[in-house]
Structures are given as structure tokens and as C-alpha cells.
Amino acid sequence: MSEGVAGSLGRSYDVVLTCGPEAMMAEVAALCEAVGISCQVSLDTRMACGIGSCRGCVKKGARGSNLCVCTEGPVFDSFEVAWRA
């Protein structure tokens, strides 16, 4: 999958949108970062309340913050996410 993305990145794109397995999105985000293309990711976490109360959907942010996927996402700029946390 990521080889296909890498091959396509020779073209001119303003942004890449990705969803799916987290490892794949991390790879797509890294490829986009390497060539300077903005990347947005759709995170798929388990959600219990969907209103920001249970904190069950929280994902680590790149700057040490917590990203509440149900209320702040589910789509984030790829640089906001701590992929290897």
C-alpha cells in the first residue's frame, strides 16, 4: 500500500487523506512528511460515550497532549498525532 502512495507522490497534490490501519496511516504520514505534502488522518478508536466524557477514545498527541478523537476528530493533521507512542 505505501509503495503505491510513494509512487503517486511524484505527482502534485495539495493534501493526502488517509484512513485504515494505524500502522499504514503512520507510514503514509511519514511519506507525506518526507516530500512536504499535507496529510490528514482519520483515527478509528473505540468510543463509549461519543461526547468527551469517558476519555476512552483518547490518543496521544505529538506534543504530549491528549487528542479526544470523538470531540476533536476523528480527522487530524498527521503531525498532531504521536504515531509511535
List residues near ligand FES by CB under 6 A.
Answer: 47-50, 52-57, 68, 70
Angle at 20 between CA 17 and CA 21, to 5 degrees: 130
Q: Which is nearer to ligand FES, 37 or 47 (CB)?
A: 47
Q: Which is nearer to ligand FES, 21 or 50 (CB)?
A: 50
Residue 15 carries which side chain, given as an amino acid letter? V
Name the H helices within the chain.
2-8, 22-35, 69-72
| Least spacing, CB of residue 10 vs ligand FES, in Å | 38
Q: Which three cell numbers stand for residue 31?
A: 511519506
| Least spacing, CB of residue 35 vs ligand FES, in Å | 33
Q: Are 78 and 36 in contact (CB under 8 A)?
A: no
Q: Which is nearer to ligand FES, 35 or 48 (CB)?
A: 48
| Least spacing, CB of residue 85 vs ligand FES, in Å | 17
